[in-house]
């Protein structure tokens, strides 16, 4: 930080806040990294802070508990996924939108499966915990519907919107079930898993026929 024309007290506070944010960010980043290798219940606060290069006291000056730290991980997850979704919806062509969107979703949750398994387990004992995740899912569906509306030049009917919403429910529900139970016969990590989810989504949502109903005078943005 370049030293501005501030009083020494205000400048010192700004430096302290910046360092505090760096510590917070490093703990969050370390948490995600450790959850790639270990289940949440196997990660202690002492191990987390040692891996991040901070003291246990630094952790407790920012989080009251491991649950509160996990809440922060979930908030960061939702923020990241929202940014990714907005980017994909604004850049992917319609011809590849569905498959690439599903590929991105499946690959993300497979790479972060230990984190997401911990999210699902926590939701069983804390119903309020799931509410922001539920809202995020509804917003995801809403962005997809908005993209389709823009593509075809009209608003979808309530039935068409309901079909898309159920297709998302099947998509995300299948991912959740697979992360928890791996029921098979097709598993995450296999290309066929993405292909079959895309096929199921297309059939339930009638996506291919929807995009064919495009108003010939309409130009999608």
DSSP symbol at 156: P
φ and ψ at residue 149, rounded to 5 degrees = -55, -45
- Per-residue model confidence as pLDDT tens digits over 68-103: 999 999 999 999 999 999 999 999 999 999 999 999
User: With the C-alpha atoms ordered 119, 121, 124, 125, is the resulting torsion angle positive or negative?
Assistant: negative
pTM: 0.85
Name the residue with tokens 């995740």: 133
* pLDDT tens-digit series, residues 129-159: 999 999 999 999 999 999 999 999 999 999 9
pLDDT at 119: 97
Q: If you average pLDDT over residues 27-32, what whole number do you get? A: 97
DSSP 116-169: HHHHHHHHHH-GGGGHHHHHHHHHHHHHHHHHHHHHHTSPPPHHHHHHHHHHHH
Q: Which domains does the chain have, with CATH numbers?
A: 1-63 (1.10.10.60), 65-221 (1.10.357)
């Amino acid at each position: 930080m370049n030293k501005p024309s501030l009083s020494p007290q205000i400048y010192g506070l700004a430096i302290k806040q910046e360092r505090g944010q760096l510590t917070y960010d490093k703990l969050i980043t370390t948490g995600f990294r450790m959850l790639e290798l270990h289940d949440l219940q196997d990660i202690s606060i002492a191990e987390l802070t040692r891996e991040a290069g901070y003291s246990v006291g630094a952790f407790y000056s920012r989080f009251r508990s491991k649950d509160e730290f996990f809440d922060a991980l979930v908030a960061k997850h939702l923020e990241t996924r929202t940014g990714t979704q907005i980017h994909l919806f604004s850049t992917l062509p319609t011809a590849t939108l569905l498959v690439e969107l599903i590929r991105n979703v499946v690959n993300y949750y497979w790479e972060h499966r230990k984190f997401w398994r911990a999210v699902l387990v926590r939701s069983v004992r804390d119903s309020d915990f799931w509410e922001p995740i539920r809202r995020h899912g509804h917003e995801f569906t809403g962005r997809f519907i908005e993209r389709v509306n823009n593509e075809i030049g009209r608003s979808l009917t309530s039935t068409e919107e309901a079909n898309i919403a159920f297709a998302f429910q099947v998509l995300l529900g299948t991912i959740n079930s697979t992360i928890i139970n791996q029921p098979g016969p097709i598993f995450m990590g296999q290309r066929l898993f993405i292909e079959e989810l895309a096929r199921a989504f297309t059939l339930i949502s009638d996506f291919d026929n929807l995009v064919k109903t495009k108003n010939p005078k309409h130009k999608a943005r």
